[in-house]
Amino acid sequence: MTVLAFGARLAAEFAAGRHLCAGIDPHAPLLAYWGLADDAAGAERMGREVVAAAAGVAACVKPQVAFFERFGSAGFAALERVLADARDAGLLVVADVKRGDIGSSFGAYADAWLAPGSPLEADAMTAVAYQGFGSLAGAFAHVRDHGKGLFVLAATSNPEAREVQRAVRDDARSVARAMVEDAEAFNASAAPGAAAGAVGSVGVVLGATLDLADFGIDIAKPASGPTLPVLAPGFGHQGARIEQAAQIFGGIGHALLANESRSILAGGADGLAGRVRERAEAIAAALGASRV
């Protein structure tokens, strides 16, 4: 049985005009605004309502796992039900777990979040390659054989990250630039001779509020293989405007997942579907205009 690559599934979403990544962040203030208890049941209720609103409208949902994990086993059970709803709806899920380790330890993380049949199975996961891009090898089989994806943190908007992510390595690349280029190299090796318009299955996280040139990332450099998917937080509540996407990401932003969480969630349950649709349509219009 042929498994469709995560990048191919992303490409289908983009072709349909869907670029919104709807965040699921059930932290205490938002749960209170929704009139929900700060517990696993409240987190589950929010998560399942976001999934219902996003299905067929957003490209994917991104549950921030920490906000479920804080409730222990009950939180994980709640998250499993949210993930099951998304699978039933045919909605892509990026598990925002930001796991990073070496050898069999990272492999176990990858099995938890990417292995087919795992109770926590998602379509992709976020990862931290502080120990080097090669430390993510435990997930590569899931990417190649099971149609899964990775989003590797490259340049993030928190000020504490700048010193590390802008640091220059022995090969004269910044840490952030190395993450981008190593992800591009993996995609090229995984899909040699990919057709024009192909999207890779390994992407990067780049903050939309950043000047990427400060991190050594050349947004004008053409990709040497499949287009690099970019998961971009920072639009909406954090201040970045989706109309500036072409200016921010340049040639590496054609496969953009624009993450919005608080701008969608802060209004409470009432009107959620309308807000998701409004933001999805605004993002699609802005990205369409940026490619003219």
pLDDT value, residue 292: 31
Catalytic residues: 98
285 three-class SS: helix
Eight-state DSSP code of residue 259 = E
Is it the case that residue 216 has pLDDT exceeding 80?
yes
pLDDT band at 178 (very low <50, low <70, confident <90, very high): very high
**Residue 237 confidence (pLDDT) above 70:** no
**Mean pLDDT, rounded, of the chain:** 93
pLDDT at residue number 197 = 77
Domain ranges within the chain, ordered by starting residue? 6-17+94-290
The C-alpha atoms of residue 59 and residue 8 are separated, in whole angstroms, by 13
Question: DSSP readout, 37-56?
Answer: -SSHHHHHHHHHHHHHHHTT
Task: Assign 120 a pLDDT band (cuts: 50, 70, 90).
Answer: very high
What are 1-30's pLDDT values in tens digits?
678 999 999 999 999 999 999 999 999 999
The model's pLDDT over 245-280, given as tens digits with 9 standing for 90+, comes to 888 888 776 799 999 999 899 989 999 999 999 999
Q: Where are the alpha helices (DSSP H) in the chain?
A: 6-15, 28-33, 40-54, 66-69, 72-89, 103-114, 137-146, 162-165, 175-190, 245-249, 262-265, 272-290
pTM: 0.95
Residue 214, pLDDT > 50, answer yes
How many Cβ atoms are within 10 Å of 220's Cβ, its own excluded? 8
pLDDT at 291: 45
Q: What CATH class does 6-17+94-290 carry? A: alpha beta
Which pLDDT does position 258 carry in this prediction? 94
- Give the DSSP H or E segment for 62: strand 60-63
